[in-house]
Amino acid sequence: MLDSLDQGALIVNLLRALEILDPKDETSINNIASFLYTPDTRLSEHLENLKTYIEIKSPTDLQRKNAGNLLETIVALTFCGLKGLTSIKSFRSASSQYDLLVSGDNLHWFPLYRLLYMKDNQRDIVVEAKCTKAKVNDQQFARLCSLMEVNLFSTTGLGIFFTLKGATGFPKRDQTERQQKLSEARLRQALFHARTGKTVIVLDAQDIFELDKPASLIHILTRKIRDVEHLSGLVTEPCSDTLTADLPSHLALIISHLQDS
């Protein structure tokens, strides 16, 4: 057992290490992500139920309602897998409905918000679950941006949509050419980030189905957050890709051995 003096020195050293943590260092992220996110054992079953719902061509009103509750359960279970979580809330305030507000105040949460490019005083995450077979449109995207800019300005640094179909204006999964222009919700995302420094990202069904894998949530979030500034025009890589590469053919050959390893 460490005495109080040793524990204090350990905390000081940890905080110093966090100060130099580089979110762009993939090796650091791979190691830390596995520690920070361990999927809840109940998540896989719920993901299978969501897959079953998506296959229904014409769901009834009751099925849609149950699916909405199911997606909210998946969201809550996902964030319960984060180390450092100290607060998880879903409620209607005097002004707005919050599907989920999550935050942490201990040492485990510190490397998490650094990896997610969040500021020291804006460490909370606000989440909206949209279990519809239509994409999140610009108006819906603007509402979450407004909540982060007005209602949650001082405390929240990251907004996340959990959706089935993604959002309007974002690159499609089956496209091969880069998207060269911004429009609709994708344009709103870029403008909001440029104005406030805060980020709103979108997970679709394929992203969600990866969340029962260790470290997956961290990898998905960091790659989507980076692409808000990169504007690659492509869908972000799956979390199973340990090395993310976007290179022309004459340079891709140089790292082919790393991707195969």
Contact of 72 with 129, CB cutoff 8 Å: yes
The span from the CA of 23 to the CA of 260, in Å, is 24
Angle at 142 between CA 211 and CA 115, to 5 degrees: 40
3 state SS for the chain: CCCHHHHHHHHHHHHHHHHCCCCCCHHHHHHHHHHHECCCCCHHHHHHHHHHHHCCCCCCHHHHHHHHHHHHHHHHHHHHCECCCCEEEEEECCCCEEEEEEECCCCCHHHHHHHCCCCCCCCEEEEEEECCCCCECHHHHHHHHHHHHHHCCCCEEEEEEEECCCECCCCCCCCCCCCCCCCHHHHHHHHHHHHHCCEEEEECHHHHCCCCCCCHHHHHHHHHHHHHHHCCCCCCCCCCCCCCCCCCHHHHHHHHHHHHC
Amino acid residing at 146: S
Question: For residue 246, is pLDDT > 80?
Answer: no
Summarize pLDDT for 66-84 with one digit per residue, the tens: 999 999 999 999 999 999 9
Contact of 210 with 239, CB cutoff 8 Å: yes
- Residue 1, pLDDT score: 47
Q: Give the mean pLDDT of the chain.
A: 87
The span from the CA of 122 to the CA of 142, in Å, is 19
Question: For residue 5, is pLDDT > 60?
Answer: no
- Residue 193, pLDDT score: 97
**Residues facing residue 102 across a β-bridge:** 88, 125
Domain positions in the chain:
18-260
The span from the CA of 138 to the CA of 155, in Å, is 24
pTM for the full predicted model: 0.84
Residue 11's pLDDT band (cuts 50, 70, 90): low
The span from the CA of 35 to the CA of 218, in Å, is 10
Summarize pLDDT for 192-235 with one digit per residue, the tens: 999 999 999 999 999 999 999 999 999 999 999 999 999 989 88
Residue 32's pLDDT band (cuts 50, 70, 90): confident
